[in-house]
Each structure stands twice: as C-alpha cells, then as structure tokens.
Amino acid sequence: MKALITGAKGQLGWSLQRTAPAGAELLCTDVAELDICDTKAVDAFVAQHKPDVIFNAAAYTAVDKAESEEDIALRINAEAVGNLARAAGTAGICLVHVSTDFVFDGTRGIPYAPDAPTTPVSAYGRTKLAGEQAAGKDALIVRTAWVYGSKGHNFVRTMLRLMAERDEVRVVADQIGTPTFATALAKALWTLHNAEVSGVYHYTDSGAASWYDFAVAVQEEALALGLLERAVPIIPIATSDYPTPAQRPHYSVLDKGTTFSIMGEVAPHWRINLRRMLQDVKHNG
C-alpha cells in the first residue's frame, strides 16, 4: 500500500508515519512539498505518484485567529479538501479526512452521534464542516477532538511549560470533551481505512473531562514520572473568565459506538493514553 500523508510535519501526520502498517510506502508531504490549495499541483502529484490512499492531516487549526481569517481557513480546511477529493475520485482511491467536534454547538449535553445535526458556532467550525462537504460521500471522514501528541504544540505541552514556570495556572472548567492521543487517533485511521468504510465516523479516546480535569491529570501524571519538580495550584475558571474571539462548544463528547464496533475494540481511557504520551516525552523528549 502506498499512502499519501498531507500535513506530515504536524502531530497527527507524524503519528500516522509512526503507526503505519509494516510494508506501507509513505509519501509524506507538507506545504513545501505539496500545496494542497493548488488544484493543478494536487492533480499532478497524485497522477505522478499513484498513491492507494490519501490521509489528509493538514488543516488550519488556529481557532481564534480563524475568526478574522475565515477566508484563509476556508481555503485550507475546505477548498483544499475539495482538491484532494477530486484527485482521489479521478484516481479511484480513498480520501481519509479528519474533522472536528467543532461542527457541533455543544448544547445537547449528551454525546453527539455522527448523524447529529451540525451547527458550528465558530469560523473554524464552519470551515471544517465545509471541508466535510467538500470531501464528499465517498470519503472516510473521522471527527475527533482535543488532540495532543508527543510532538508539536498542544494543551499537554503547554501545561507542562506553564506548571514549570508559574506559581499557579488557571484553566477553564465548564467545557467538556475528550482528550485524544494523536498516536491512538492515527492507529484508528489506519484501522478504519483497512476496514474499507466510508462516510462520517467519530473517534476519540474513551471517557470525558473538562479542560480543568485534563490539566489536573497532566500535573499528577507528570509529577509521578518526574517531568515536573513541584505541584502548583490549578484554579478552575469559567469560560466567561477567559474570553476568546471564537466561541467553543460547552459539551462536545462524541459518540464512538459505531467506530468501536468496526474496530473491534474500545479506545483506551484518555488518562491511560495521557500517561503513555508523557512516558514518551520522558524517554524521547
């Protein structure tokens, strides 16, 4: 199998490379190697290299900045996805596209099924929903949430830095979702592709947490591993105490029942995968 991975330098792209099946040939690209916003470049690349599948791990993910740059976010999160979808369709191959919990408004209070109504409340969410539509019905679309990894910029890395630098940290406690280890997400994407399914699916780690719960767990696990030298107070705050340009869903837990059934297993609890990530950080930096 030959797989084209876009956004290969990001935390998910890196994880897709680490978890690739034995014998897979990987075409790893970022914007320098392939500008997915360039229709002709995408067509030419796919025609030349003839991949068997495209994993789109590229995205505009600056949620707050997207409020003032929605046109740029739309170009990367939707128009570029359309380019990949058209090239995949011409070649007769599968596009695996990653979407987000931000396509929901977060007002339900129960886990969102893949067919739940989509009502994004931010520019980022709108552009990601447009990306799903551009991917089309033949694509495998996997929504996820709160992704973090051993590499790159993410919540866990930020918390480790702040807890080492500050005497206290303040973290939002009234937004509920599920942390997702990028390595686990990447494995799920490979598994779902191998199952030859299409349509919209959900994948995160198991369980649910607030950002405050997540931060507390980061500190506890990091202290146990010796990644932090001291504990600092973690102060729970309301979303209203930390205003941001973009509105976030207050509850965006995703229903993964169908996905887990296809995979033949339930994802590990988010705290187990957090420990695995921090162990990776300890041993590999």
State the burial class of residue 15 (Cβ atoms within 10 Å of its Cβ: 0-12, 13-18, 19+): buried
pLDDT band of 178, cuts 50, 70, 90:
very high
Pairing relationship of beta strands 169-172 and 25-28 according to DSSP bridges? unpaired
Instruction: Give residue 66's identity as a one-letter amino acid code.
Output: A
pLDDT digits (tens, 9 = 90+) for 235-248: 999 999 999 999 99
Q: Which two tokens stand for residue 75?
A: 């170009």
92: phi > 0 → left, psi -120 to 50 → alpha, else beta; which?
Answer: left
pLDDT at residue 192 in the model: 98
In this prediction, residues 93-100 reach a mean pLDDT of 98
> Tens digit of pLDDT for each residue in 108-122?
999 999 999 999 999
| pLDDT reported for residue 189 | 98
Tell me the per-residue pLDDT of 36-87, one tens digit each, with 9 for 90 and over.
999 999 999 999 999 999 999 999 999 999 999 999 999 999 999 999 999 9
**% of the chain with per-residue pLDDT over 90:** 99
**pLDDT digit string, tens, across residues 21-37:** 999 999 999 999 999 99
> For residue 86, which phi and psi values (nearest 5 degrees)?
-65, -40
Cα angle at 176 between 170 and 178, to 5 degrees?
105
Position 285 scores a pLDDT of 74
Give the separation between CA 99 and CA 142, rounded to whole angstroms.
6
Query: ∠ CA 89-132-202 to the nearest 5 degrees?
Result: 110
User: Residue 151: which pLDDT band, with cuts at 50, 70 and 90?
Assistant: confident
Does residue 216 have a pLDDT over 80? yes
Q: What is the pLDDT of residue 183?
A: 98
Say what the pTM is: 0.97
Say whether pLDDT at 13 is over 90: yes
pLDDT given for residue 284 in this prediction:
86
Distance CA 102, CA 81 (A): 17
Q: Is the pLDDT of residue 227 over 90?
A: yes
pLDDT of residue 11: 95
pLDDT at 101 (0 to 100) = 98
For the chain, what are the domain ranges?
2-284
> Which residues are 234's β-sheet partners?
169
Can you give the pLDDT at residue 73?
A: 98
2-6/25-28 β-pairing: parallel
Active site residue 124: yes
Rounded to the nearest 5°, which phi and psi values hold at 176? -115, 130
Average pLDDT of the chain, as a whole number: 97
Looking at residue 23, the DSSP 8-state letter turns out to be: T
- The superfamily in CATH containing domain 2-284 is NAD(P)-binding Rossmann-like Domain (3.40.50.720)
Of 60, 124, 201, 212, the catalytic one is: 124
Structure tokens that stand for 215 in this block: 């931060």
